[in-house]
Amino acid sequence: DTGVSQNPRHKITKRGQNVTFRCDPISEHNRLYWYRQTLGQGPEFLTYFQNEAQLEKSRLLSDRFSAERPKGSFSTLEIQRTEQGDSAMYLCASSGTSGAPRADTQYFGPGTRLTVL
Amino acid sequence: AQSVTQLGSHVSVSEGALVLLRCNYSSSVPPYLFWYVQYPNQGLQLLLKYTSAATLVKGINGFEAEFKKSETSFHLTKPSAHMSDAAEYFCAVSAFTGGFKTIFGAGTRLFVKA
């Protein structure tokens, strides 16, 4: 169990550019979640996958945001035409299948901190 | 619908003193409740969780929390604070709706004075 990894850890971009983040979950976990955390706030749910299927999306996930998990393993989160309001920490978490000992517990990666200038 | 309220955005205690971080939740279905800790520029680490078993839950680093349904509370305690406990603490609630979408509180920053 090597934990959830996220890359890059930090990203600085100019307004209007596109950015993509990657999340590698714990290998046996089939559920993957994305959250956004702004300064002084708790994480806010964005979307989650069960295997390769995206099952739920938050209203926070505007049309400029897209997430994929093509083979049910790693996931990417892309933000198009970034805005200064997108500056935040983007957290990824994973959990196991229903009935598994850790199905109800999400394990978080270190996050990707995005700064939009 | 679910929600979490953490009472007090900042809590300051002396080293060796009792730590009490308050959390109240709202859930339309039996909830799963969690406490996570976050150190600067890091992700969230699970401290403990309640999943409908024992109401007093023990976690890592000497922390524990008690689920009180009548009070809709899940307060976090530690008998004796250590300097290394200084961090941000998040209470969270989730319920199974095909997946476990988790709702987090705004967090409580714990300061520990020498």
Reported as a single tens digit per residue, the pLDDT across B24-82 is 999 877 788 999 999 987 889 999 999 877 889 999 999 999 999 999 999 999 999 99
Note whether A88 contacts B: Cβ–Cβ < 8 A.
no
In this prediction, residue B19 carries a pLDDT of: 97
Which residue in chain A is spatially nearest to B90 when comparing CA positions?
Answer: A42
Of B51, B102, B106, the CB nearest to A41: B106
Q: Please count the residues of chain A.
A: 117
- The whole-angstrom separation of Cα A111 and Cα A37 is 9
In this prediction, residue A72 carries a pLDDT of: 84
Place of tokens 């959390």: B23
pLDDT digits (tens, 9 = 90+) for A40-65: 889 999 999 989 999 888 888 889 99
Whose CA is closest to A37, among B44, B53, B2? B44
Q: Residue A59 — φ and ψ, nearest 5°?
A: -65, -15
Note whether A4 contacts B: Cβ–Cβ < 8 A.
yes
Half-sphere exposure of A31 (CA within 13 A, CB side): 25
pLDDT digits (tens, 9 = 90+) for A9-51: 999 999 999 999 999 999 888 899 999 999 888 999 999 998 9
> In the beta sheet, which residues pair with residue B42?
none
Q: What DSSP letter does each residue of B50-103 carry, written as one string?
A: E-SS-SEEE-GGG-EEEEETTTTEEEEEESS--GGG-EEEEEEEE--SSS--EE
**Best residue in B44, B46, B47, B90 for a mutation probing chain A (most A CBs within 10 Å):** B44
Note whether B41 contacts A: Cβ–Cβ < 8 A.
yes
Place of tokens 């150190």: B39
